[in-house]
Amino acid sequence: MAETSDFKAEPPEGIDPIGASSEGASLYQLIREDIIEGRLAANERLVVTDLARRHGTSTNPVREALQLLRGEGFVTFVANRGARVRPIDQDFVRDIYEIGVLIEPALTRWFVNMATSEDIAELERIQGLIEENNFADTFRHSELDTAFHTVMYQRHYNRHAAELWWKHREVLRAVSRRFNFTLARRAAILREHRELIAHIKAGNADEAGELISRHVEGSGRHVLEQMRARNAARAG
Amino acid sequence: MAETSDFKAEPPEGIDPIGASSEGASLYQLIREDIIEGRLAANERLVVTDLARRHGTSTNPVREALQLLRGEGFVTFVANRGARVRPIDQDFVRDIYEIGVLIEPALTRWFVNMATSEDIAELERIQGLIEENNFADTFRHSELDTAFHTVMYQRHYNRHAAELWWKHREVLRAVSRRFNFTLARRAAILREHRELIAHIKAGNADEAGELISRHVEGSGRHVLEQMRARNAARAG
DNA sequence: ACGCGATAAATCGTACATTGTTTGTCGAAA
DNA sequence: TTTCGACAAACAATGTACGATTTATCGCGT
């Protein structure tokens, strides 16, 4: 499939939660992206009439999209006062990184024991693109990094865990795109990916799991540090 | 608060995801319970008109409730074909138990380091009620057991993880109520709870985490075994 | 038994009514 | 003059009704 060099991260199969009415589905996606990408401010009111006008539909599809987003946790509701954008703040990001630290090692261990040579080739190919890009294009790195991990988690039998990972990843991807990578972090990412591939080749499931745990934790620490810095800059 | 002996499990604070319109909220809860408790069969069609008539409202609140349930994963949608009940089958249950095995130990370790003497007294009180009930009333055991773990996870700083646990727990509670506990499982539950309290008192966070891991895994194995048995009985 | 077309049924979008909330103005008291 | 509160008008959320379009059902003819 993605033989071209422009990578677009795709969800693991069977995850796509869309399927609403054509109108509703696209509305859901649009609003959701606006939230994740930060185009809608934290706690901003989501006025049904406005959204309907802005997207050229009537109010009902908007209302349904908002409920869907509520169920997924991106929107909060207060009775008779409508919807607001759930803030994607440091606590939010920390929470989902910590959950990742708990879940991803298990997914990784399973993958190591199930990996085919095609899987490994694919990982090495993506890793090649990552090193080639070398953080020049932040967006591209973000997509490639996501693709790298998707190869590992894609086929896991625990669809709930895989779906959870993907939903979290979509948020983190958008958040981390807003920042630059420190030199130290760049080096760590490349090193850890290479080390991970080595462990997979050797069939060292536990070592790979350990490594992923540190990888995710380091990634979380890095992003949170950046968020803190930006907040401090904004406040000071 | 719950000084009376009839326990009703309550969610950790700040979790309640309701807050829709008065109609919509209750509708959401009613349909959700019908799914979790198994009153609506797996893959059953959820016809908006029927649900509206049955609950004495118009269709719009139903549609919104269904979207909310979709976001939470209890309902699946196909475009132009409406909603169906997501089956709560063995895979589903296995998936969320496995996630529990990964997450609950971390929540437990944190609790052990934060537990006050009031917390411990509360745990011992609930454990007393559990032993007093001694599985005579399955429903009651289910509520008490949930309350026991809620005491531990309630105040965790990672609200996402606590919320995830609670949502999973609501499903598992309903599922496990459909079965009886084997004598072996009864003994294990009581023993592990007592042992857990001892670890908490001693401040042994890691041991408590280890124990919870086994506790959840054992619980999952037990429920899955029962589901398998019932399925086999139904098939044969 | 097997298409196949008519009919029934359900989803989905639109428009509207009702109810509750927010806002802004006016006037009186400090 | 400023502040506070009552009141009214605008606004927005929530519920209802309805029509258009798609999907499911059923009976008929082959």
The pLDDT of residue A185 is 98
Residue listed under structure tokens 């009153």: B39
- Report the DSSP pairing between strands A75-78 and B75-78: unpaired
Maximum pairwise Cα distance, chain B: 58
What part of A 79-98 touches B (C-beta under 8 Å)? 79-80, 91-92, 94-96, 98
pLDDT tens for residues A202-228?
999 999 999 999 999 999 999 999 999
Min Cα separation B135/chain A (Å) = 31
Min Cα separation A131/chain B (Å) = 32
Q: Could you say which DSSP state residue B75 is in?
A: E
Residue B24 — very low, low, confident or very high, per pLDDT cuts 50/70/90? Answer: low
Mean residue pLDDT across chain B: 93
Dig out the tokens for B29 from the structure. Answer: 């809860």
Residue B162 pairs in a beta bridge with none
Cα–Cα distance measured from residue A218 to residue A229, given in angstroms and rounded to the nearest whole number: 16
Q: What residues contact B56, with CB distance under 8 A and at least 6 apart?
A: none
Contact A177, A142 (CB under 8 A): yes
Hey, are the CB atoms on B70 and A17 less than 8 Å from each other? yes
Q: Is the pLDDT of residue B2 over 60?
A: no
Which among A20, A78, A98 has the least Cβ separation from residue B19? A78
The pLDDT of residue B17 is 52
| CA–C1' nearest nucleotide, residue B21 | D14
The pLDDT of residue A132 is 98
Cα–Cα distance measured from residue B150 to residue B167, given in angstroms and rounded to the nearest whole number: 12
The type of residue at B8 is: K
Nearest 10 degrees: CA dihedral of B221, B223, B229, B233? Answer: -160
Most B-contacting residue of A77, A101, A153, A159 (CB-CB within 10 A), to test interface:
A77
Mean residue pLDDT across chain A: 93
pTM value is 0.93
Inform me whether the C-beta atom of residue A17 falls under 8 Å from chain B C-beta atoms. yes
Which of A17-21, A72-76, B122-126, B206-210 bottoms out in mean pLDDT, i.e. has the lowest? A17-21
Cα–Cα distance measured from residue A69 to residue B71, given in angstroms and rounded to the nearest whole number: 7
Residue A197 — very low, low, confident or very high, per pLDDT cuts 50/70/90? Answer: very high
pLDDT tens for residues A4-40?
445 677 887 766 555 445 666 689 999 999 999 999 9
What percent of chain B stands above pLDDT 90?
A: 88
Most A-contacting residue of B27, B60, B67 (CB-CB within 10 A), to test interface:
B67
Hey, are the CB atoms on B99 and A164 less than 8 Å from each other? yes
Residue B15 — very low, low, confident or very high, per pLDDT cuts 50/70/90? Answer: low
Residue B169 — very low, low, confident or very high, per pLDDT cuts 50/70/90? Answer: very high
Inform me whether the C-beta atom of residue B63 falls under 8 Å from chain A C-beta atoms. yes
The pLDDT of residue B12 is 79
Dig out the tokens for A214 from the structure. Answer: 């540190």
Hey, are the CB atoms on A77 and B19 less than 8 Å from each other? yes
Average pLDDT over residues B51-62: 97
Q: What residues contact A57, with CB distance under 8 A and at least 6 apart?
A: A23, A27
Count of C-beta atoms within a 10 Å radius of residue A129? 18
Chain centroid to CA B110: 21
Question: Cβ of B19 < 7 Å from strand C?
Answer: no
Maximum pairwise Cα distance, chain A: 58
Inform me whether the C-beta atom of residue A77 falls under 8 Å from chain B C-beta atoms. yes
Residue B76 pairs in a beta bridge with B84
Q: Is the pLDDT of residue A161 over 80?
A: yes
Question: Cβ of A49 < 7 Å from strand D?
Answer: yes
**CA-wise closest residue to A224 among A196, A187, A182:** A182
What percent of chain A stands above pLDDT 70?
A: 92
Residue listed under structure tokens 């939010």: A92
Cα–Cα distance measured from residue A14 to residue A195, given in angstroms and rounded to the nearest whole number: 30
Compute the C-alpha angle A128/A16/B94, nearest 5°: 95
Cα–Cα distance measured from residue B106 to residue A145, given in angstroms and rounded to the nearest whole number: 27
The pLDDT of residue B72 is 96
At residue A91, the 3 state secondary structure works out as helix
More confident residue, A23 or A159: A159
The pLDDT of residue B4 is 40
Closest residue in A to B156 (Cα) is: A95
Q: Could you say which DSSP state residue A6 is in?
A: -
The pLDDT of residue B151 is 97
Average pLDDT over residues B117-135: 98
pLDDT tens for residues A78-105?
999 999 999 999 999 999 999 999 999 9
Inform me whether the C-beta atom of residue A67 falls under 8 Å from chain B C-beta atoms. yes
Q: Is the pLDDT of residue B1 over 90?
A: no
Phi, psi at A71, each rounded to 5°: -60, -30
Q: Is the pLDDT of residue B106 over 70?
A: yes
Cα–Cα distance measured from residue A168 to residue A220, given in angstroms and rounded to the nearest whole number: 12
Which of A186-195, B19-28, B154-163 bottoms out in mean pLDDT, i.e. has the lowest? B19-28
The pLDDT of residue A236 is 80
Cα–Cα distance measured from residue B184 to residue B135, given in angstroms and rounded to the nearest whole number: 12
Cα–Cα distance measured from residue A197 to residue A194, given in angstroms and rounded to the nearest whole number: 5
